[in-house]
Amino acid sequence: MVPEEWEVVSIGDVAEVKGGKRLPKGYQLTDENTGFPYIRVTDMFDGGVDTASIKFVPRDIAGHIKKYKIGSDDIFITVAGTLGIVGEVPPSLDGANLTENADKLTNIKINKKFLIEVLRSPIVQSIIDAEKTANAQPKLALTRIKGFRIPKPR
């Protein structure tokens, strides 16, 4: 059902897929605005992020997880618990830390809005559903996401 003038590529061909990070053991998120927002799966909805209940990383450990940030040019996809929620980060949360229960698609080489819609499509969502592991908490491996095949206009 892909138009002849389109091609089928893997997610890894059009974007880098990187994981998020949990806080180090013994630390908890805070309601105090430390300047280091942390986006959790509970903050995510299909298409975006609800900023109403954003938590923050304590200042003294912000440096430990600084590599695991997401930008407003990236796309997130939830990979643990509730799988397959896809969206983008609002500019107000550009550079926020990303939960370990979501991955980010970064360095995107195709239209970001198009990629979001493809990832939200029933076809890709059915692939995500089929990829669930049999654990108590469903998980979606980063390598699986890289391998998802999607249609792309030439």
**Residue 42 per-residue DSSP state:** G
Confidence of residue 134 (pLDDT cuts 50, 70, 90): low
pLDDT score, position 61? 93
Using the CB atoms, write b or e for 78-111: b if 16+ within 10 Å. bbbeebbbbbbbeeebeebbbbbbbbbbeebeee
- 44-to-84, 104, 110, 148 alpha-carbon distances in Å: 11, 13, 23, 22
Residue 28 has pLDDT above 80, yes or no: yes
Higher pLDDT, 135 or 3: 3
Full set of structural domains in the chain with CATH: 6-153 (3.90.220.20)
- 112-to-8, 19, 58, 116, 140 alpha-carbon distances in Å: 17, 18, 32, 6, 21
Share of the chain above pLDDT 90, in %: 77
Read off the pTM: 0.92
Q: Work out the number of other CB atoms within 10 angstroms of the CB of residue 12.
A: 15
**CA 99 to CA 19: how far, in whole Å?**
8
Higher pLDDT, 77 or 126: 77
Confidence of residue 135 (pLDDT cuts 50, 70, 90): low
Class of residue 1 by CB neighbours under 10 A (exposed 0-12, middle 13-18, buried 19+): exposed
- CA Rg, the chain, in Å? 16
